Amino acid sequence: MTEENYYQASTYSGILTTKLEGEHRYDVCVVGGGVTGLSSAIHLAEKGFQVCVLEAQKIGHGASGRNGGQFIFGFGSEMPTVRKLVGESEAKKLWELSLEAIQVTHELVEKHHIDCDWQWGHVHTAVKTRQVRELSDFREDLISHYNYDLEWLEGNSLMDQVASTRYLAGVKDQQSGHLHPLKYTLGLAKAAQEMGIDLFEESPVQNWLEKDEVSLSLPNASLKTNYLVLAGNAYLGSLGKKLSQRLMPVGTYMIATEPLGSTRAGQLLPKNIAVADVNFVLDYFRLSADQRLLFGGGVSYSRIPPVDVRNYLRKRMLKVFPSLVDVKLEYGWGGLVGITMNRMPNFGRLAPNVFLAQGFSGHGVALTGLAGKLMAEVISGTAERFDVMSQIPHLPFPGGPLFRMPALLLGTTWYRLRDIL
């Protein structure tokens, strides 16, 4: 969708960039002007590297500038599944990294004085009776394996957080929360420029070639670098052809209401927390700083958006908050997120000096900041923590280039039906 989203309308960029032209050399080149790329650049610059960031569109154009804004513990895959993938001891390391991801995000915001409407508090909610049991098992698993407790919510305690009769139970995490994602991304960009990092917008990389060093080709420029970081995720396009078997870009969508006023907004979410249900095709929502309800939901594995995004999400919103029937929707937008088969992030090396991080599968707000920190560690010679992430096994999506999308649509049908039944 090309419609201006709420984040763009409520943010002033404040950064000036140019297109890359001519011949250049850097210690590290980062491709992708989202949080992964900017966090990588900042952490690398702190270690003394000369860094540039190349963005094909505008800084924050991709998921970093249009997502739900919810920073959440864990991964897109639940921890019992993670333990089956990597074993108990490695799963504990991954769990600790997921908590560190929130800490890294907060440290970046505090250190660089980024005004991004930061709010603590997040609730996962159950819509059906069987989900109440599943949510309870989920909570008990975190307590028993990771000594991590979530506040159990039912009845009045749940209504005090989410004033909706749609939900039967919930678990609250006070260490998770929400922020304005584009303000956060642009704040990182401003911090990067102040550190001497060169940012180039409208500078799409056409090709890269790795030998002793990496050579990049652009429409009116060329660049040589010792290290390359690929941080474009679902927006790498043809540059990510080698990665496409293990990454599927899917469409997801959001709406923003007109400002509700503090009284009416507080009647919906009294504690100003973020919420996501536990359906396979989930709804997620929160309040903005100017008292709008920002509501996301639905997913398009074909990447074809609904004919009328606003009406489609309005129906979902009214199932949660029927009292908003008279409220106008002022924005509706969509974008791509990158998912993997196992819903775990895909970190790795394409060559000894070419690194990537992608496939955050709906948990990218926090994990992308951590990705940048781990990129800086591995490039500066400390690979241990990067390798904890990169050793997660990833299978390609079945079906090959021609049938991968139809196979995914077929494979997810059962989970969509479970949301309904």
- Tell me, yes or no, whether 409 lies in a domain: no
57 contact partners, CB below 8 Å, separation of at least 6: 33, 201, 202, 235
> How many separate domains does the chain show?
1
- Tell me, yes or no, whether 417 lies in a domain: no
Report the distance separating Cα 375 and Cα 48, nearest Å. 14
- Tell me, yes or no, whether 133 lies in a domain: yes
What pLDDT was estimated at residue 415? 47
- Tell me, yes or no, whether 414 lies in a domain: no
- Tell me, yes or no, whether 397 lies in a domain: no
Is the whole-model pTM more than 0.75? yes
DSSP 369-396: HHHHHHHHHHHTT--HHHHHHHTS--PP
- Tell me, yes or no, whether 134 lies in a domain: yes
Task: Assign residue 162 the CATH number of its domain.
Answer: 3.50.50.60
What pLDDT was estimated at residue 413? 45
- Tell me, yes or no, whether 420 lies in a domain: no
Report the distance separating Cα 286 and Cα 268, nearest Å. 10
The list of the chain residues with pLDDT below 70 reads 1-3, 242, 244, 302-303, 399-421
* b/e burial code for range 41-79 (CB count within 10 A of at least 16 → b): bbbbbeeebebbbbbbebbbbbbbbbbbbbbbbbbbbbb
Structure tokens at 227: 């290290």
Domain extent for 161: 6-390
- Tell me, yes or no, whether 405 lies in a domain: no
